[in-house]
Amino acid sequence: MASAATGLDEGRPDARAQLAGLIFAVVLIDHDGRIVEVNHAAEDLLGTSANRLLGTRLIDRIGPLDPRVEARLGVSDDALVARELAIRVGQHDARVNLTASPLVGYPGWRVVTLSQIGHDEATGPAGGEGLLGAPAVLAHEIKNPLAAIRGAAQLAARKLNHADKKLARMITDEVDRIARLIDRMQQLGSTRTGPVDACNPHEAIRAAVATMRAAGGEGDGIEIREEFDPSLPPVLANRDALEQVLINLVSNARDAARAQAGPKTPGGLIIVQTRFVSGLAFSAIRNGRAVPLPIEITVSDNGPGIDPALRDHVFEPFVSSKPSGQGLGLSLVRKLVRDMNGNVSHDRDQRSGLTHFRLHLPQAQDVS
């Protein structure tokens, strides 16, 4: 990388700081394929701290791999690009884009990058949120005539006989449904963020579960299991937004788990787990700086999993596997989590038959 003028170098981050700030994993391996150095994102992806990773073989941490990729990784002087590569990290399956770049002047040494597919991605003018930000005026113009239609249906209902009143109610119900859809679209396009403060994540989880139950989740043969870390410190979040995120995730998990259960065939399972990812230093880049995200909330279900064709697009607007789904729930989740400087991702563990949605959020006292 070419250096800027001397005057601009003052206070410039060194190479180590630049690597630490990257949102994808970077691993330095020697001629034997052993890990010599990792950045913070690699610690998070590989699920353990640098101290435990150093000296171990990279292939042992992410394998077994596609035999062709594994063979190419065994040739120390070969460059390699592998897209949508299936890897195994601990007990979890993941898909990544992998590159291996030889270091000129250091025979056998390579820099390997791993970028996980399905993780929350930065949004901008080309992202889903940017596309939905513009139609605010259009939403307003739609809601005005909707209100008139609803009012006319209510007036008509007063003059209709009893048998026809249900038609008027159907009109008002559909108008209300469309209005709610527009409200959610406006939420996605909003650039306003709510205030964040220290809050107890377990209280938000229990409130979300209670809301789901009140909305008709009782008696569906689904077990909700709590695996909470009682020593978890407060999270820095907007309490209302966090609760809405959890309502969406738990409701989606319930819908997925229903495929495994029913009133006569119990077996559906939702697991809500919290933990402090100590030593992993998982972070996201927000406003040009790395924000540590040590608080992890995972919502898991034993449903059939996400359609493989949709896995890379579940956080995009209007993408849904549900026959009557609007495809806005997970888009709103991503938007609200990013507003709290957090990150959301998903993965499927085929061995355990669980789909995991993971939130990573900042600790209250760690962010000023």
Q: Would you say residue 3 has pLDDT above 60?
A: no
For the chain, give the mean pLDDT.
78
Q: What pLDDT was estimated at residue 132?
A: 43
Q: Which of 135-149, 265-279, 296-310 has the highest mean pLDDT?
A: 296-310
355 vs 349: CA distance, rounded Å: 6
Q: What pLDDT was estimated at residue 10?
A: 63
Q: How many CB atoms lie within 10 A of CB 151?
A: 12
Q: What pLDDT was estimated at residue 121?
A: 44
Q: Would you say residue 124 has pLDDT above 50?
A: no
Q: Would you say residue 37 has pLDDT above 80?
A: yes
Domain 197-366: CATH class, spelled out: alpha beta
Output phi, psi for 181, to 5 deg: -60, -45
List the chain domain ranges.
6-116, 128-189, 197-366
Domain 6-116 annotated CATH 3.30.450.20: yes
The tens digit of pLDDT for each residue in 192-220 reads: 556 889 999 999 999 888 887 776 655 56
Q: What pLDDT was estimated at residue 127?
A: 43
Q: What pLDDT was estimated at residue 120?
A: 45
Q: What pLDDT was estimated at residue 266?
A: 58
Q: Would you say residue 152 has pLDDT above 50?
A: yes
pTM as predicted: 0.56
Q: What are residue 242's DSSP bridge partners?
A: none
